[in-house]
Structure 1
């Protein structure tokens, strides 16, 4: 470059550029928090809208179910199915499989122990648990 005698070299950043950079940085710092809050609130709003839509769907489903329960034939069918009701003159029955499929013999043994304990009075089961706790502490 040509140097002109008597003129000083200009600094790379002038005071105006420094002030402009400082103003821009402070604007970014000032607007960062509100922008983050805005984005957070937008996501909260969308989550609340999704919840409201889900609630509307549940309400619609419950309205349809209530309408079904208004039908006397549906009520009769539910009484027959759930409560095993029968109409006058009918003979209700329930079929039970005499040989239920067993998965393992150990699970059958484990299932019979709670039934035996359930047949005992409460004080007998308490005494059995005390005896069991005493026998395990003596084995240690």
Structure 2
């Protein structure tokens, strides 16, 4: 049997060249029994090196997964903070506009008239009452000067020429109002 091993392995007296396989019958004669372990026995599926490799990959996967989760949470938190910053900046802009309005004397005067009923010296206050005897509320309101559309200035000669054409063709007279101020018909 030792002779057959040498022959099948390409030892002395063997006709095997490198890269060729030996005689399958000779190899079958040398095959170990199922209960024996040997260099040519069947290897276990999970070796020690493979187990360590799987363990290292599992640890790396868990660490990268937790890092990725933290990264996604931080990105979400950053987006929330940016939204809060944008909302607060718009609030600051609105408050600054309101502050600029309070520096306008006409706005302060209008607020004093509206909120407290103040009058300028020499003015007389009138309260318009409705049919039920309660005062009617004012329909006018002030607008923010920043939102008012400004007209483009026209040249002086355009305004003068318009007055010349209007003088040549006067507007038609309008009909008088149907109701008088006191509520009676004409």
Scaled by the length of structure 2, the TM-score of the pair is 0.45
Cα deviations by residue, 1:23-68 (Å, 9 ceiling, x for unpaired): 1111122333333222222222221221112111111111111111
- Residue in 1 aligned with 2:155? none
- Residue in 1 aligned with 2:178? none
- Residue in 1 aligned with 2:125? 92
In the aligned structure 1, how far is the partner of 2:127 from the partner of 2:87?
A: 40
2:90 pairs with one of 42, 57, 62: 57
Greater CA deviation, 7-16 or 23-32?
A: 7-16
Structure possessing the higher relative contact order (Cα contacts under 8 Å, 6 or more residues apart): 2
- Residue in 1 aligned with 2:112? 79
Structure with higher helix content: 1
The runs of 4+ residues in structure 1 deviating greater than 6 Å are none
Cα deviations by residue, 1:62-115 (Å, 9 ceiling, x for unpaired): 111111111111111111222222222221133343167xxxxxxxxxxxxxxx
In the aligned structure 1, how far is the partner of 2:129 from the partner of 2:48?
A: 95
In the aligned structure 1, how far is the partner of 2:105 from the partner of 2:133?
A: 38
Unaligned runs of 5+ in 1: 101-140
Q: How many residues align?
A: 98
1:42 pairs with one of 69, 75, 78: 75
Unaligned runs of 5+ in 2: 1-23, 32-39, 135-186
Using the TM superposition, give the Cα deviation of residue 18 of structure 1 relative to its aligned residue in structure 2, in angstroms: 2.6
Query: Contact 1:79–1:85 at 8 Å: present in 2 too?
Result: yes
Measured on the aligned residues, the alpha-carbon RMSD in Å equals 2.5
Query: Do the aligned partners of residues 12 and 96 (structure 1) sit closer, same or farther apart at CA in structure 2, a change above 3 Å counting?
Result: farther
Which one has the largest radius of gyration? 2
2:51 pairs with one of 3, 18, 22: 18
Query: Contact 1:80–1:86 at 8 Å: present in 2 too?
Result: yes
Query: Do the aligned partners of residues 91 and 14 (structure 1) sit closer, same or farther apart at CA in structure 2, a change above 3 Å counting?
Result: same
